Amino acid sequence: MIINIISIGKIKEPYIKDAVLEYKKRLGPYVKIKELELKAESFGADIKEKVKKIEGERLLKSLEKYNKENIFLLDENEKEYSSIGFSRLLESKDELVFVVAGSLGWSDDLRQSSFKKISLSKMTFPHELARLLLFEQIYRGVTIIKGKDYHY
């Protein structure tokens, strides 16, 4: 199984970076993780929409090489999965692509795209924390698939 995680911006908080590295290490025996961090644009109040558009175009370009059916945008307004349901999603494909928006969220082009969308929660999280939650849920899903003791 190959899981691609594409996101806008780098993880800056050391505690989040450490936790993500721990989950990547735990996933190592089971899953090939590929990460792509795209440049986040600086912004002020007057150019937020322009920045979302630039970042959206950058994301769209990075997604061209993937099967559209395997791409999932993380969006709090979309379908939520239980951990078991998410494990079934992981199990359903040989390769998946999860995309995490930047600080400003999705551009209109991406929000209205035909890519599949999923929610980690109806709550809004900082994009760095959303990535950590995604890694944890991927790990939880893989342990469910493999029958390992983690999900109770």
Nearest partner of 83 among 118, 36, 124, 129, judged by Cα: 118
List the domains of the chain with CATH numbers. Answer: 2-146 (3.40.1280.10)
E strand or H helix at 81: none
How far, in Å, CA of 112 to CA of 122, rounded? 19
pLDDT digits 0-9 by tens, 14-47? 999 999 999 999 999 999 999 999 998 888 778 8
Does residue 152 register a pLDDT over 70?
A: no
pTM for this model (two decimals): 0.92
Does residue 115 register a pLDDT over 80?
A: yes
Tokens of 28: 């190592």
